[in-house]
Structure 1
């Protein structure tokens, strides 16, 4: 049954299975997407780790190259957003291109990727708050106490309106970015003895055994840019806004990271960045900031390091909730997940699911933490690093598979000639992503900081593989026992319903929603 509405997305299951439209414009959507990338967390955590562990001085150039690859990916990805408006994003696109079975597999991989990406940050979040309380208030608090508090607060916000969440994200993100920009300016105005060297952009700096790991680590810093289609049903003009925000996010993130990583080399000197990063790790940014801007600024920077993680947690929580909503609406999860909060319009049960998963994850790592307070092993080196690498690998697999789905989608519809350049861009991006995936799996021990031969180097990537295999098996069973449900995977949105109505001679709708 097709119903019409000017204020919300109507689905074949009715308004109670719809996310409210017109809730997000370009600014709020852009804030939600960039917040997931956690700019300050990447500058403070990922970049020094990349320099110190991988030994690649040309990290700024890596960010530029990855920005180009992801921009090529986004050419086809953004075009798909004009044809498919679905909170299931990745799995909906893959289902439209490669069929319902592949879409089912992708939906499971998406949950297995995004859920750890979110709850893993609670480890770093709790550890940072615990460390700051110990340093500034002389109060000893176990990391898991603020982590659990964060889970509860994020869960409550997940039940509220997405536009309210976007405002919270926007304020935190603007301050976070401003702090990094201030540091960047200070580093440029007060460089090391080597001056404003551009050595980090020399292609010769990319040689070495650590390049593959550096590509994988830096690509993880981009995770979040792909989230705009998840909110398509909640925007006023998804066929325009989603594509616009995707390219804006890629452009901003790549330039922001390239600049930030370059300034770190300027502040320390290109010849010293690897050594200093290896010695100081995540303290590098704060040490350099204190030398140039003083203790007061550094203390504030620590504060917004925490709020930046909070913004990241909220953004990923919203994404998992919407994936669960889309899967519940289409019968891949129990139908309760496909219902929204009648008051706020938020995907309440999807939000509750991620809250429960996060509580369980934090509890498990807290119970198994035998180290004294202040030791980062359980919260950072295990919960954060292990979960983050699982999630990042899952997203890489989804990106590469989506590139293939984009090609097949347009070829099957006889649009290969009209979309030739988008198909070519998707093919190049897929090849680049495939290379990075191979490097990621090969060098997983480096990314984890574990010994070569550790069981973790195959157990953790194996989780993503098991999710893909299990999801495909689920899709095959579903196709056999419930072909009708299998046939509508990826179709739970207004655009597809309008397309079906037109195909049968039914009433039309605005051209912008047509597939």
Structure 2
């Protein structure tokens, strides 16, 4: 689930080229490694906390028990905004890519939103079934993603027009003026890595497997992205990779493979690019469903959200996420197509409407929100273990959270200060401020709602973040997945 959410092929094809193009720096490969180190240090306290708190609303429960219930509820709404934004934003890229592929190969022109609606149905069906069904489907898709990127890496290193050079691995390329921008664009590639804790209630041994999955995912993703980004620079040539990335964008990988291997393999890569997006869609959908479940179980949201299927899947939360996706996609479709807004906003680039709006706006907003949540989690870890360190070291309970928390806060500030650049805007407009503003509005609304619950329903307020503990309000434990 973690690696599916990070979408390896999508990151290598789109994220790497975007980073090279925007930063105009060869430090992108080392940037992935630096982010992996920051997140690995963050995971020290995060996974330590996961051994004592098992809750489908991971961030929500950790912050509620670590810092306080009001901030925990605020964090839960920020998490819902983040995961919904990431998931629905990816739909925009999926619909566009599939529509363009069908038109290019078969001459079949179709609206981008049609394929999104069909995909929403498939994602929703998998979402209401037991989690291991989703895991098996995504496992196959992720394995194919890794395979095709490895083939690309081998071809790139074999082509090497300027030789197999370590120019992109020179620390001077990273630790320069572009460092902040490299981290801003690179951190989105890791979003979803924190998701192991969300599945703790459905795992057979969460105290062991959640930390293992988190560390493994950070290591695998970080090394794989760094190596592939370096191979990208070698395959195109260090002196040309920035210029070519600016010229072709995400298509550069497919153009390169068409020239080197042939159009058939490039088409296979395109199809796997689509399945990569689908895998990420499913992973984020599952995360949203489990947050709804956790909040419904504890009475923060209507208890209807706590309903699960016989297999333990949070079907009510899954249905809710599906409805949200349909409504938001319909809004973008009507705005972009029916009323001609795409033409007026983007001129000759109108066909890119779902990518330039839905995908770009929402995924960047979601990534910013998740980075902020992780910075707050670092504080929650310190507060949680300050009351009882449970025999853990100072490195685990204080030093690692402080170091990673400050680093993540700095990355969040860099994201906000460069949000216009991330949205590819020549000049700031309303979206430059409204989109990140949604994060703070969600937090404020959540805090206020928690205070209302404290005054009006103290029995529910007492259980906020404690929904899996014996005797907790509305507790209905999810059946353990046996297979």
Task: Report if the CA contact (8 A) 1:212-1:443 is conserved.
Answer: no
Would the alpha carbon gap of residues 68 and 376 (structure 1) be closer, same or farther in structure 2, given more than 3 Å must change? Answer: farther
Gaps of 5+ in 2: 474-483
Question: In structure 2, what is the Cα distance between the partners aligned to 1:265 and 1:364?
Answer: 39
TM-score (norm 1): 0.88
1:418 aligns with 392
1:179-213 CA-partner distances (Å, limit 9, x unpaired): 00111111112212x21111112122125554322
Question: In structure 2, what is the Cα distance between the partners aligned to 1:448 and 1:165?
Answer: 32
1:351 aligns with 318
Question: In structure 1, what is the Cα distance between the partners aligned to 2:446 and 2:376?
Answer: 14
More displaced 10-residue stretch of structure 1: 238-247 or 267-276: 267-276
Among residues 151, 172, 175, which one is paired with 1:204 in the alignment? Answer: 172
In the TM superposition, residue 454 of structure 1 has moved relative to its aligned partner by 2.1
Moved over 6 A (4+): none
Would the alpha carbon gap of residues 414 and 260 (structure 1) be closer, same or farther in structure 2, given more than 3 Å must change? Answer: closer
Among residues 249, 261, 266, which one is paired with 1:281 in the alignment? Answer: 249
- 1:250 and 2:218 matched: yes
1:195 aligns with 163
Question: In structure 2, what is the Cα distance between the partners aligned to 1:218 and 1:43?
Answer: 11
In the TM superposition, residue 217 of structure 1 has moved relative to its aligned partner by 1.4
In the TM superposition, residue 243 of structure 1 has moved relative to its aligned partner by 0.4
In the TM superposition, residue 497 of structure 1 has moved relative to its aligned partner by 2.3
Question: In structure 2, what is the Cα distance between the partners aligned to 1:414 and 1:390?
Answer: 35
Question: In structure 1, what is the Cα distance between the partners aligned to 2:172 and 2:94?
Answer: 37
In the TM superposition, residue 345 of structure 1 has moved relative to its aligned partner by 2.2
- 1:337 and 2:305 matched: yes
Task: Report if the CA contact (8 A) 1:321-1:348 is conserved.
Answer: yes
Question: In structure 1, what is the Cα distance between the partners aligned to 2:351 and 2:167?
Answer: 34
Q: 1:138-287 maps to which residues of 2 (within 5 A)? A: 138-192=107-161, 194-206=162-174, 209-287=177-255
TM-score (norm 2): 0.93
1:362 aligns with 329
In the TM superposition, residue 419 of structure 1 has moved relative to its aligned partner by 2.9
Would the alpha carbon gap of residues 105 and 387 (structure 1) be closer, same or farther in structure 2, given more than 3 Å must change? Answer: same
- 1:83 and 2:58 matched: no
1:294-346 CA-partner distances (Å, limit 9, x unpaired): 1111000000000111111011101100010000001111100011023x321
2:263 aligns with 295
- 1:432 and 2:407 matched: yes
1:4-59 CA-partner distances (Å, limit 9, x unpaired): xxxxxxxxxxxxxxxxxxxxxxxxxxxx1110101111111111111112212100
Would the alpha carbon gap of residues 72 and 414 (structure 1) be closer, same or farther in structure 2, given more than 3 Å must change? Answer: closer
Question: In structure 1, what is the Cα distance between the partners aligned to 2:389 and 2:155?
Answer: 54
Among residues 445, 453, 464, which one is paired with 1:478 in the alignment? Answer: 453
Gaps of 5+ in 1: 1-31, 501-515
More displaced 10-residue stretch of structure 1: 476-485 or 121-130: 476-485
Question: In structure 1, what is the Cα distance between the partners aligned to 2:169 and 2:449?
Answer: 47
> Secondary structure at the residue paired with 2:376?
helix
1:20 aligns with none
Over the residues paired in the alignment, what is the CA RMSD in angstroms?
Answer: 1.7
Question: In structure 2, what is the Cα distance between the partners aligned to 1:359 and 1:340?
Answer: 22
